[in-house]
Amino acid sequence: MTAHAKLSASGSHRWLNCLGSVEAEEGLKDQTSSASIEGSVGHELAELVLSHGGSCQNWVGKPLVENNQYIVEQEMADYIQEYVDFVKTLPGEQWYEQRVDFSDWVPDGFGTSDVISITDDAIIIADLKYGKGLKVEAENNPQAMLYALGAYAEYELTHEIKEVIIYIHQPRLDHISEWRISIEDLLKWGAWVVSQCEIIAEGNAPRTPGEKQCQWCKAKATCPALKSYTEKIIMAEFDELDAPPDPTTLNQTQLRNALEAKKLIESWLSAVESHVKDSLESGNDFPGFKLVEGRSVRRWADDIDAAETLEHLLGAQAYEKKILTPAKAEKALGKAKKGDIQQLIIKPQGAPTLAPESDKRPALNISEKDFDSFE
């Protein structure tokens, strides 16, 4: 099992932005999700092929070494092969799943970098993200920057390192992000990291709510700083929660504050709900709430028996025939053959959606009559 540092590189987006989160999370259990397991499997497959050769296709239908309960599917093999092919194009001497020590900047700091490549004058960090949620950018990525500091500590005496090149590869989003930083600027950032760690070490470090740092924080549900932030945002705009005002009566500043805090507040409320539910499921009482049976959907007790009976009663009407969606068809065909159906696929213009100004998509210039063209 992979060891994890207290101040880990993978969690640096959290503890560098909310110093108090380190102390807040002490003693709380890690949450394992299907997405994290899938990501672990993808990383293992990539390492196996990069280190030992062959193709990801060779593992389709087979279990892996560490994650031996997982059978590699064609979809994963296709996507991980894209990442493997990309890594092979990078120059320099390469190491895979390399443990790096960045304890010169972070107390007991260590982690595992997916790929480290060393040329005569550069360190290359390549990081695989197998998720298909939000795009991850290489620019100012603290996880990759900490790996770069660890690699620099290892190779500064043997190489004239001048810059670091960071790549974030998300094959399922067809996204590759690249960013370069000079060693001088990386070391300046490292000095700032040292100062942040010193504040954490003193204890009672401040908690600073924010969308990035709170997203995966284990202490989110019981965080007083996030609660206060939520109250401040909500109560600043609404005198009574039972009767919020008509949005048309709010000024632009009030509307903007509410929109910018929406994701964080929703995330906090969801964490609160999960925390109380877990407590009730553990046998504890919670005033004002209880566990009840949720909504369920009827299903056949035995699909085979149901099919035989319906065929007898309804004949061909027992079944529905429905064409696969483009996404399901591409998955069934695999990477090699999905190009054969691209000419059959259209992508209608999406309906307008609200996004912050930082979103990289261009703004739409539309009038009321343009809404008729959106599906």
235 within some domain: yes
Model pLDDT, residue 89: 96
Closest CA to 258 of 237, 241, 239, 244: 237
Whether the predicted pLDDT of 5 surpasses 70: no
Q: Give the domain range for residue 95.
A: 12-202
Domain co-membership, 192 together with 85? yes
Q: By percentage, how much of the chain surpasses pLDDT 70?
A: 92
What total of structural domains would you count in the chain? 2
Domain co-membership, 184 together with 255? no
Per the CB < 8 A criterion, the answer to whether 130 and 39 are in contact is yes
Residues 100-120 pLDDT 10s: 999 999 999 999 999 999 999
Whether the predicted pLDDT of 297 surpasses 80: yes
184 within some domain: yes
19 within some domain: yes
Question: Which of 260, 281, 302 lies at the terminal end of a domain, its last residue?
Answer: 281
Per the CB < 8 A criterion, the answer to whether 347 and 354 are in contact is no
What is the rounded CA–CA span in Å between residue 188 and residue 296? 56
Residues 6 or more apart in contact with residue 40 via CB below 8 angstroms = 67
Q: Which long-range contacts (CB under 8 A, 24 or more apart) does 181-185 make?
A: 181/145, 181/148, 183/152
Model pLDDT, residue 373: 52
pLDDT average, residue stretch 197-210: 92
How many of the other CB atoms lie within 10 Å of CB of 331? 16
What is the chain's alpha carbon radius of gyration, rounded to the nearest angstrom? 25
Domain co-membership, 43 together with 190? yes
Domain co-membership, 189 together with 236? no
| Residue 167 β-bridge partners | 126, 178
Residues 6-25 pLDDT 10s: 899 999 999 999 999 999 99
Model pLDDT, residue 275: 82
Ramachandran region, residue 53 (left: φ > 0; alpha: ψ -120 to 50; beta: rest): left
Per the CB < 8 A criterion, the answer to whether 147 and 102 are in contact is yes
Domain co-membership, 195 together with 255? no
Residues 307-358 pLDDT 10s: 999 999 999 899 988 898 888 888 888 878 888 999 999 988 888 888 888 7
Domain co-membership, 124 together with 266? no
Domain co-membership, 240 together with 178? no
What is the rounded CA–CA span in Å between residue 332 and residue 316? 25
26 within some domain: yes
319 within some domain: no
Domain co-membership, 47 together with 132? yes
pLDDT band at 3 (very low <50, low <70, confident <90, very high): very low
Question: Which of 168, 202, 236 lies at the terminal end of a domain, its last residue?
Answer: 202
Walk across the sheet containing 163-170 and list its strands: 93-101, 110-118, 122-128, 163-170, 175-182
Domain co-membership, 224 together with 264? yes
Per the CB < 8 A criterion, the answer to whether 260 and 268 are in contact is no
84 within some domain: yes
47 within some domain: yes
Residues 50-103 pLDDT 10s: 999 999 999 999 988 887 788 899 999 999 999 999 999 999 999 999 999 999
337 within some domain: no
Domain co-membership, 135 together with 233? no
Question: Which of 281, 300, 315 lies at the terminal end of a domain, its last residue?
Answer: 281
Ramachandran region, residue 3 (left: φ > 0; alpha: ψ -120 to 50; beta: rest): beta
Whether the predicted pLDDT of 237 surpasses 70: no
- Report helix, strand or coil for 372: helix
Structure tokens at 257: 């504050």
Domain co-membership, 173 together with 74? yes
Domain co-membership, 109 together with 158? yes
